Amino acid sequence: MWQQSRKSSFPLRAKMPPCDFSPGNYEVSRSIRKQNVSPSLTTYYKKPLLLHQGHMQWLFDYEGKRYLDLFAGIVTVSVGHCHPKVTAAAQKQLGRLWHTTNIYMHPSIQEYAEKLTALLPDPLKVVYLTNSGSEANDLAMFMARLYTRNFDIICFRGGYHGGSPYTQGLTSIGSYKHGVANGFGCPTTMLPDVFRGPWGGSHCRDSPVQTVRKCRCSGGLLMARNVVAISTPFLCSCHTGHCHANNQYIEQFKDTLNTCVPKGIAGFIAEPIQGVNGAVQYPKSFLKEAFQLVRERGGVCIVDEVQTGFGRTGSHFWGFQTHDIVPDIVTMAKGIGNGFPMAAVVTTREIANSLAQNLHFNTFGGNPVACVVGSAVLDAILEDGLQKNSEEVGTYMLFELAKARDKFEIVGDVRGKGLMIGIEMVKDKDGRQPLPIEEIGQIWEDCKDMGVLIGKGGIYGQTFRIKPPMCITKKDADFALEVFHAALMRHMERKAAT
Kindly state whether residue 433 falls inside one of the protein's structural domains.
Answer: no
Residue 217 Cα to chain centre, angstroms: 32
Kindly state whether residue 476 falls inside one of the protein's structural domains.
Answer: no
Q: Are 196 and 459 in contact (CB under 8 A)?
A: no
pLDDT, tens digit, for every residue of 148-171? Answer: 999 999 999 999 999 998 899 999
- Tell me how many degrees the CA angle 215-216-218 measures, rounded to the nearest 5: 125
Which residues is 161 bridged to in the sheet? none
Helix (H) or strand (E) holding 59: strand 58-61
Regarding whether 112 and 36 lie in a shared domain, the answer is no
Regarding whether 143 and 211 lie in a shared domain, the answer is yes
Burial class (CB in 10 A: 0-12, 13-18, 19+), 246: buried
- Name which of 123-132, 225-234, 249-258, 465-474 the model is least confident about: 225-234
Indicate the residue among 335, 368, 383 that finishes a domain.
383
Regarding whether 235 and 172 lie in a shared domain, the answer is yes
Grade residue 479 by pLDDT with cuts at 50, 70 and 90.
very high
Regarding whether 119 and 31 lie in a shared domain, the answer is no
Regarding whether 160 and 49 lie in a shared domain, the answer is no
- Name which of 15-29, 211-225, 239-253, 341-355 the model is least confident about: 211-225
- Name which of 223-237, 243-257, 401-415 the model is least confident about: 223-237
Kindly state whether residue 270 falls inside one of the protein's structural domains.
Answer: yes
Indicate the residue among 383, 404, 419 that finishes a domain.
383
Kindly state whether residue 441 falls inside one of the protein's structural domains.
Answer: no
Average pLDDT of the chain is 90
Kindly state whether residue 346 falls inside one of the protein's structural domains.
Answer: yes
Regarding whether 158 and 50 lie in a shared domain, the answer is no
Question: What is residue 336's predicted lDDT score, i.e. its pLDDT?
Answer: 98
Indicate the residue among 383, 399, 429 that finishes a domain.
383
Cβ neighbours around 55 below 10 Å, total: 19
Question: What is residue 218's predicted lDDT score, i.e. its pLDDT?
Answer: 33
Grade residue 6 by pLDDT with cuts at 50, 70 and 90.
very low
Q: Angle, to 10 degrees, between the axis of helix 437-449 and the axis of helix 474-497?
A: 130
Q: Are 137 and 334 in contact (CB under 8 A)?
A: no
* CATH at 173: 3.40.640.10
Residue 179 neighbours by CB under 8 Å, 6+ apart: none
Task: Check pLDDT > 70 for residue 314.
Answer: yes
Which residues is 156 bridged to in the sheet? 189
Regarding whether 209 and 61 lie in a shared domain, the answer is no
CA 88 to CA 94: how far, in whole Å?
10
Grade residue 42 by pLDDT with cuts at 50, 70 and 90.
confident
Nearest residue to 309 (alpha-carbon basis) of 285, 287, 328, 336: 336
Regarding whether 106 and 223 lie in a shared domain, the answer is yes
Kindly state whether residue 403 falls inside one of the protein's structural domains.
Answer: no
CA dihedral 371, 52, 463, 250 (to 10 degrees): -10
Regarding whether 222 and 153 lie in a shared domain, the answer is yes
Residue 456 neighbours by CB under 8 Å, 6+ apart: 440, 444, 463, 464, 465
Domain total for the chain?
A: 2
CA 144 to CA 148: how far, in whole Å?
6
Which residues is 343 bridged to in the sheet? 130
Q: Angle, to 10 degrees, between the axis of helix 386-407 and the axis of helix 368-383?
A: 70
More confident residue, 352 or 243: 352
Regarding whether 62 and 110 lie in a shared domain, the answer is no
Kindly state whether residue 405 falls inside one of the protein's structural domains.
Answer: no
Regarding whether 305 and 183 lie in a shared domain, the answer is yes
CA 409 to CA 428: how far, in whole Å?
6
Regarding whether 104 and 50 lie in a shared domain, the answer is no
Percentages helix, strand, coil for the chain (3-state, rounded to 5) are: 35, 15, 50
CA 463 to CA 457: how far, in whole Å?
5
CA dihedral 293, 282, 220, 256 (to 10 degrees): -30
CA 157 to CA 283: how far, in whole Å?
16
For residue 220, give its domain range.
90-383
